[in-house]
Chains A and B, each alone.
Chain A
Amino acid sequence: MKSSVIVFPGSNCDRDISVALEKMQFKNQMVWHKESKLPKSDLIVVPGGFSYGDYLRSGAIAGKSIIINEVIKAANDGCLVLGICNGFQILTETGLLKGVLLRNENLKFINKDINIKVMNNETNFSKKYKKNEILKINIAHNEGNYFTNKEHLNELNEKNLIAFKYCNDEGDVNEKYNPNGSLENIAGIYNSKKNILGMMPHPERMVDKLISNTDGVNLFSSLLN
């Protein structure tokens, strides 16, 4: 399976995701944002970081870069696209995913391992997980407070497009276990065709017991099958 990781000035999780992908036997290529052609890929990853120093709004400038036009074309043709953290913010700025990520409600940068619940385990990104499985995954962001309009929120719920929700150890989803003020504890969403996933938590940081845990592994192994 071939993957491409898009690299912007200010991306800082591009190496982590590339190590994770290669560990999982993906043939990965790094693609600089000024490229006008995307190598043939089964998966495109928009990595975390602080593209363009978060100028204007997180992800706003990267969302208008040259390579993004190719990412949009590929996504519309059904290519799998994964946006993690700043990558999720970039995908919302391109319009590939609806909604927006606002400043964390408590105005603090949050870096900690939190629990998320797998809400839909029937997608290309999640089929190796069990439904309602609880994962311990790291979050590290300043703008992770997901917001969208009522119509879209209804669509997310009705079409089962919410990928992950923040929860506690037992899987309870409520305001108490919401780290950033995100609408309905949303940690990740799919587009309506479910070929694009945007998520704030970092699964690429959870693929090795030596440094964390392996709760992120199944996301990548789902993609391989």
Chain B
Amino acid sequence: MKLISEKQPLLILRKNKLKFSVTITLKKDVLDPQGKVVQNTLQNLGMDNLKNIRQGKYFEIDLDDNDQNEAKKKVDDMCKKLLANLIIEDYKVEKI
């Protein structure tokens, strides 16, 4: 019994993959106590010219999609539905 067809290509063509990054940050007027503590600690370490630090979240998302615009819309939808809480957070989607 032949397990592999003779015509099978050596390399299986990869599906088109698109990769996006999502950065989520707290809105400007929302207090960020974690960022503040990180900032204070760095200042204690002697980083005198440090002005401000805001802490956020970062996601890398792979999609099986050919159409970049469509894919970006889907990632946008993911942010709105789950990844970000729009009351307190802003998000930024970028193709990587």
Contact = CB atoms under 8 A, between A and B. Distances in A.
A60 B85 contact: yes
Majority DSSP secondary structure for residues of A touching B: loop
Interface stretch (B9-17, B27-35, B66-74): B27-35
Majority DSSP secondary structure for residues of B touching A: helix
Interface in A78-115: 93, 98-100, 102-107
A34 interface: no
Interface string B58-96: 000000000000000000000001110101100000000
A152 B16 CA distance: 45
Given A56-B83, A60-B82, A100 B88 contact: yes
B47 interface: no
A104 B34 CA distance: 10
B85 A148 contact: no
Given A103-B34, A105-B31, A181-B31, A147 B88 contact: yes
Contacts, number: 31
A149 B27 CA distance: 12
A103 B33 contact: yes
5 contacts: A60-B85, A100-B85, A102-B30, A107-B33, A147-B30
Interface of B: 30-31, 33-34, 37, 81-83, 85, 87-88
